[in-house]
Chains A and B, each alone.
Chain A
Amino acid sequence: MLQPALILYPALVCLLFAAWPRIGKNYITGMILRGAGFLLVSLYFLLIIHRMEARFIVTDQGKMVFIAWVIVVAGGFQYLYGKGTGNETFSPLAASLALGSGLFYGISDPEPYMVYERADVNLFFFLRNGSMGLFLVAVSFFSSVSWVASENATKVLQLHYGRNFTLLGAAVFLAGEVAGSWWAFEGWGDPWRWSRGFLFAGAMFLLSMLPLHLPAASGRTPGGTAIRAMIPLIIIVILNLM
């Protein structure tokens, strides 16, 4: 039940989002399809809450599917309020690629280890991977500043949305780390450990702060700012996969 649903629901939502730019001219059809899209997203959200446990997304395949889902949802809401940023095609594209990978590998069903029954452990894995989806949405905005948008006003708007999703991603990431710290504390008596995972996690949070602390250098173009903001976020996603 769970495995086909993991693939089918986001795939349907992807299709709807992909179709929106073409059907947007017809107000009523657009509204119906948007409503259907929200319904599917809500259903999928309920499914995630009730049926999915962290043990599914600790696998690489599960991780990819979950990140794709976050991209779809975040990108979908952004499309609704996107104010014509020209960035609508990223979410379906990225999510389709990630889901395609999930389909190719299939989702394994790991052992029901006891730790995955804990709320803090579930929160840690969901929020961390959720933040990766949000960072990727931010990357899509920053990348379109450099390579898609032509007008300066649009570029500035794209930068602003990139910054919004970076902030949102940082908050979600930090919330996940707090949950993970509580897990570590109850498990091993310490909210912080001197290990590869914890040091990388700390570095990832600091990296998410970099796009928000770019010095205002005179004469820098929006494209240059976007690239500087994008690189740390890409490194975060790579570190998360390591």
Chain B
Amino acid sequence: MIRYFASMRFAYRTLIVLVIWMCLGGLMAGGGLKPVFKAMNDLLVLDWFLEVMADKPLQAIWFIGFCILGALVLLSFIACTFTTLWKKLRQRRNRQTALVLFSLHLLFTAILLLHVISMTTGFKNGHVRAFPGDTLRLSPTRTLVVDEIRYAGSDSLLRESGGQSRIRYTRANLKPENSFARVTLLKNGKTTGKGTVRYMEPYREGSIFVCLEAFVSGKKRTGETGVRMTIVKNPVIYPFFVLYALSVLLILIYTCMTWNFRKKPDSKEI
């Protein structure tokens, strides 16, 4: 059984099904189910799943399928790494290449596990509208207070809704030096940090990130400028990026090591 999970055939088939599943998800997310998928970005995935599973059956089925396929890819990684690649590593021939390939698969296994951890730990409050003086409850122990919002940009930007913020703000129309929010983070009612958050310049405190996505106008509170923010705690974010960077490096090293033929050409090798 383990030999089957470690085989190229299993890896190849699982990858194909996962690709089809992701493209299906992509089509759903870009089509009629866009608002439903958007809701996934507002919460920690585990919280989202527990909250909306019953209300959105189609999306829940898609997500369950995605998790199952992800688990199969992980199984394939682990089985292949500790059987086939481990055997290659113990052979005397091409030991350095085998070591790089082994490490690469080990890294991707760790990355997949980090994805699972980041979906289930920490907290997330996405696309929250806040105005000066607002207090946002982030978790049972954590709160964020918006002390002050300053906005020196164009009024027309406040009225725009939807669309991509990346094709909205220029230095001329936002005036980023004078457009920002001051926030205070509290833990059990005690201040743990104060800071300024600007567009694309988050405020960080440990693994908590406060990101300012856009400036908005208060519909009910005319004349007041607010912000749209995402506040997230992701304890594995730095290892996540380090492992991804390492995997890129290892792929490049592996490519260089195997660029030329050193053995008799084998038609099975690609």
Tell me the chain A residues, 94-116 only, with Cβ under 8 Å from chain B: 111-115
Which residue of the partner chain, among B8, B25, B169, B245, contacts A215 with CB atoms under 8 Å?
B8
Report if A189-B15 is in contact (Cβ < 8 Å); known contacts: A152-B267, A163-B270: no
For B5, the chain A residues whose CB sits under 8 A away are none
**Contact assessment for B265 and A181 in the assembled complex, using a CB-CB cutoff below 8 Å:** no
**Contact assessment for B176 and A185 in the assembled complex, using a CB-CB cutoff below 8 Å:** no
**How far apart are the CA atoms of A135 and B248 in the complex, in Å?**
16
Interface string of A178-189 (1 = CB under 8 A from B): 100110011111
**Contact assessment for B27 and A185 in the assembled complex, using a CB-CB cutoff below 8 Å:** no
Asked if A52 lies at the interface with its beta carbon under 8 angstroms from chain B, I say no
**Contact assessment for B22 and A206 in the assembled complex, using a CB-CB cutoff below 8 Å:** yes
Task: Provide the main secondary structure of the chain B interface.
Answer: helix
Q: In the complex, what's the smallest C-beta–C-beta distance from A170 to chain B, in angstroms?
A: 6
**How far apart are the CA atoms of A217 and B251 in the complex, in Å?**
25
Bin chain B's interface residue count.
35 or more
For B115, the chain A residues whose CB sits under 8 A away are 192
Asked if B58 lies at the interface with its beta carbon under 8 angstroms from chain A, I say no
Q: In the complex, what's the smallest C-beta–C-beta distance from A109 to chain B, in angstroms?
A: 13
Asked if B226 lies at the interface with its beta carbon under 8 angstroms from chain A, I say no
Asked if A18 lies at the interface with its beta carbon under 8 angstroms from chain B, I say no
**Contact assessment for B270 and A190 in the assembled complex, using a CB-CB cutoff below 8 Å:** no
Which residue of the partner chain, among A181, A182, A190, contacts B232 with CB atoms under 8 Å?
A190
Asked if B82 lies at the interface with its beta carbon under 8 angstroms from chain A, I say no
Asked if B167 lies at the interface with its beta carbon under 8 angstroms from chain A, I say yes
Report if A189-B251 is in contact (Cβ < 8 Å); known contacts: A178-B245, A196-B30: no
Q: In the complex, what's the smallest C-beta–C-beta distance from A134 to chain B, in angstroms?
A: 11
**Contact assessment for B23 and A200 in the assembled complex, using a CB-CB cutoff below 8 Å:** yes
**Contact assessment for A114 and B176 in the assembled complex, using a CB-CB cutoff below 8 Å:** yes
For A82, the chain B residues whose CB sits under 8 A away are none
Q: In the complex, what's the smallest C-beta–C-beta distance from B30 to chain A, in angstroms?
A: 3
Which residue of the partner chain, among B210, B232, B267, contacts A156 with CB atoms under 8 Å?
B267
What would be 13 A-B contacts, judged by CB atoms less than 8 Å apart? A114-B176, A115-B169, A153-B265, A155-B267, A156-B267, A164-B255, A178-B248, A186-B200, A191-B240, A194-B41, A214-B12, A215-B7, A239-B23
- The chain A residues found within 8 Å of chain B, CB to CB, are 111-115, 118, 121, 152-153, 155-157, 159-160, 162-164, 167-168, 170-171, 174-175, 177-178, 181-182, 185-197, 199-200, 202-203, 206-207, 209-216, 222, 225, 229, 232, 239
Contacts beyond the supplied A167-B251, A171-B252, A188-B126: 13 A-B pairs with Cβ under 8 Å: A111-B167, A113-B166, A114-B200, A156-B269, A160-B261, A171-B251, A171-B255, A185-B237, A189-B231, A196-B29, A225-B267, A232-B19, A239-B23
